[in-house]
Amino acid sequence: MLLAAEIARLAPAFEAVADQIWATPELCFAEHRSSALQRNVMAAHGFRITPGLAGLDTAFAAEWGDDGPVIAVLGEFDALPGLSQVAGAARQQALEPDGNGHGCGHNLLGAGSMLAATAIARAIQRSGLQARIRYYGCPAEEGGWGKGMMVRAGTFDDADVAIGWHPGTFNGVRARSTLAVANRAYQFRGRAAHAAMAPHLGRSALDAVELMNIGANFLREHVSPDVRLHYAITDAGGAAPAVVQAHASVLYLIRAPELDDLHDLVRRVDDIARGAALMTGTEVEFVPQGGASNVLPNFVLCHVMHNVMRRLGRLDFSPGEQAFAEEIRASLVDQTAIDRRARTDQDVLVPPDEGRLPLHQGLRPFDGRMTQGTGSTDVGDVSWIVPTVECATATWAVGTPSHSWQVVAQGCSPAAHRAMVRAALAMAGTALELIDDPSLIAEARKEHLGRRDGRPYMSLPTAAGPVEQQLSGQENS
């Protein structure tokens, strides 16, 4: 059976999974219903379930097959706080006041990866190829960095390649690195006193937090432009201004393009905290709260996936889907900047006279060059252990920012389902190429080892592989 036909047959059930997870958004490490749903679905499709990976209640693996290369398929299911939104509404309208919402599309991410893993297993079963397909249910990508914990527990050590995707505003391989990130809390302790009658007896922890933030702001002038520092005051020491605050805390996200750069930057921020404590006569404690490595892109795998996506052709959307996307675009703040960025895309598979559309239908080109992203993901930790590749599909209207109510509003739309199914086709097609031609896996691993050692990789392979017949001319249902 053609891969596209198999995915079309399976798609409605996995679209329902995505919608059910959208409707029950759970935060990092508390995704109990979402994890259980995914485990039950994969077990029903004949996958062996290993729960509680790395000691995490909501992490699991679902595996099919006994021999051959281990193909890891990455999935997520965590939501974000404060992003509750009515589905299909093009204006901000909370479904539940201050409720959670899938503002990064992880309801689709996990379901799409499950669909791909199941379709790969069915295709292998019919073709006689050998492989072990392992879907990883990964919790807490949003700030908890669950994959990093799974990596440290060795759960990816025997994988040959890892394949994933992420909802987005374009179709194409994600041939870019990300920023390495460290979550770091700074907890200051001072001494309480009456702020009017005996201020000289107090030592303000809140003053220390404010001085630290000023120092970090000045630091921005003396770091590279791609460094990012964000902070939130998590404890202001109380609501009484007449009391000198004896305790206060601030949480920093510290980001840099490379791990070595990040370690140096963390030391500099730590010194600023020490200085703030010294100036205020307080004490400071550094509390690491996890982090993630930068992604190591793999160009061998990117070329394989890009060629698979080329053969899939355009991702077409209905007039109704385009109309809703246009409504979403109208709700965005800076339409001029969005359109300007969109016009710089030199897409392939799109006629030059097609004009601007609110949903991306073409395919971003890939010429072997790596770009530098400004976000962070714990997929980076996986990519240092195993060669990793991801794609994106046009799940959201052009210009939609992630972590926004607009993402939630589009999270269970027909267009989002269509893009999720396209991502599953791209991932499954890539996996079958690699399984059918083990030399591609060997070449990807060779590149991976070189990148870990800091060596550039110049080979630009093409993949016109033997599973092309399964993909050519097939469209999503």
Q: Count up the domains in the chain and report the number.
A: 2
Single residue among 292, 308, 330 that ends a domain in this structure: 292
Query: Computed from CA positions of residues 102, 103, 104, 108, in that sequence, does the dihedral angle turn out positive or negative?
Result: positive
Task: Cite the beta strand spans of 119-257 per DSSP E.
Answer: 132-138, 161-168, 172-173, 176-177, 180-189, 228-235, 247-256
Three-class secondary structure of residue 233 per DSSP: strand
Are both 38 and 8 inside the same structural domain? yes
Are both 232 and 281 inside the same structural domain? yes
Those residues of the chain that have pLDDT short of 70 are: 1, 334-355, 455-477
Query: Computed from CA positions of residues 423, 46, 27, 182, in that sequence, does the dihedral angle turn out positive or negative?
Result: negative
DSSP secondary structure letters along 375-386: ---THHHHHTTS
Are both 259 and 169 inside the same structural domain? no
In a domain, 140, yes or no: yes
**Separation between Cα atoms, residue 86 and residue 83, nearest integer Å:** 10
Angle of helix 414-436 versus helix 319-330 axis, rounded to 10: 110
Q: What is the pLDDT of residues 51-91, one digit of tens each?
A: 999 999 999 999 999 999 999 999 999 999 999 999 999 99
Are both 40 and 133 inside the same structural domain? yes
Are both 256 and 334 inside the same structural domain? no
Q: Which residues pair with 243 in a beta bridge?
A: 194
Are both 121 and 210 inside the same structural domain? no
Domain interval for residue 18: 3-177+294-471
Q: Cβ of 179: how many Cβ atoms within 10 Å?
A: 26
pTM > 0.95: yes or no: no
CATH number at residue 215: 3.30.70.360
- The phi and psi torsions of 428 (rounded to 5 degrees) equal -65, -40
Q: What is the pLDDT of residues 169-195, one digit of tens each?
A: 999 999 989 999 999 999 999 999 999
In a domain, 68, yes or no: yes
CB of 7 closer than 8 Å to CB of 115: yes
Q: What is the pLDDT of residues 321-341, one digit of tens each?
A: 999 999 999 999 765 455 444
CATH number at residue 447: 3.40.630.10
In a domain, 477, yes or no: no
* pLDDT value of residue 349: 61
Place of tokens 């995915």: 7
The token duo for 98 is 């201050």
Are both 225 and 312 inside the same structural domain? no
Are both 105 and 44 inside the same structural domain? yes
Are both 93 and 218 inside the same structural domain? no
Are both 222 and 164 inside the same structural domain? no
Are both 380 and 456 inside the same structural domain? yes
Are both 158 and 277 inside the same structural domain? no
- For β-strands 180-189 and 283-292, DSSP reports them as antiparallel
- For β-strands 161-168 and 388-394, DSSP reports them as parallel
Q: Which residues pair with 182 in a beta bridge?
A: 254, 291
